[in-house]
Amino acid sequence: MTKSESQTPLAGYPKSAELSNGTTITLKAMGATDKNALIKFAQNLPEEDLLFLTIDLTQEEAINGWLENIKNGSSTSLLAYADDELVGYATVHRESAPWTRKIGEIRVNIAPDLRSLGLGRLLISHIFDVCRKLELTKILARMTIEQKGAQAAFRKLGFIAEAILADFIVDHKGLTHDLVMMTYDVEGLSDQAGDVLKV
């Protein structure tokens, strides 16, 4: 491994961990070979989940755009596999504008049959570590007002709701939803967030 490789945010992956039901999970850096697994993962998500994705993961073009963001460094993404099945992902995205270059937005999604087993907390803990390595100062998470479970999970990790934007989201059905913006100061990350599940 070269010096530059050892300093990359995802150096040391893949890694393994075990969920509360005994399922072994492998975390790896996202790459072009994961495209079909991502499409299959998205196709198995409930319709209400698909309504609020920032991109349509059921479309190859959208995933190609994601892969391009990884290539140019604006996104850093971890995938979770159970055997050969993709069961979740976590990504941090950064904008190129100078005034937001130290802010990262994290996005996390879990397969329905593996929710409430610790996979979300596992992915978040690892993406937090990525944020540290990227020297980000603040993490942003956005969700709809209806996503109460997601809001509760982020609050447990120390996120605070900084803004609610009324009727900010229009879903595929043309209905509007309020947007909740939650943030966390990276410099204040504690063991509660960063060491939720040891690997």
Any idea where the domains of the chain sit in the sequence? 17-140
Domain range 17-140, its CATH number among 3.90.1150.10, 3.40.50.300, 3.40.630.30, 1.10.260.40: 3.40.630.30
Identify the pLDDT of residue 144.
83
CB atoms within 10 A of CB 190: 9
Instruction: Copy the structure tokens of residue 194.
Output: 């960063």
Cβ atoms 184, 159 nearer than 8 A: yes
DSSP per-residue string spanning 128-178: HHHHHHTT-SEEEEEEETT-HHHHHHHHHTT-EEEEEEEEEEE-TTS-EEE
Q: What angle do CA 163, 104, 137 make, to 5 degrees?
A: 90
pLDDT bracket for residue 52 (50, 70, 90)? low
| Cα 88 from Cα 189, distance rounded (Å) | 23
Amino acid at position 3, single letter: K
pLDDT in tens, 113-161: 998 898 988 998 899 889 888 989 889 888 888 888 778 878 887 889 9
pTM: 0.81
Cβ atoms 29, 89 nearer than 8 A: no
Q: What is the torsion angle, in degrees rounded to the nearest 10, for the CA atoms of residue 103, residue 160, residue 144 and residue 19? A: 90
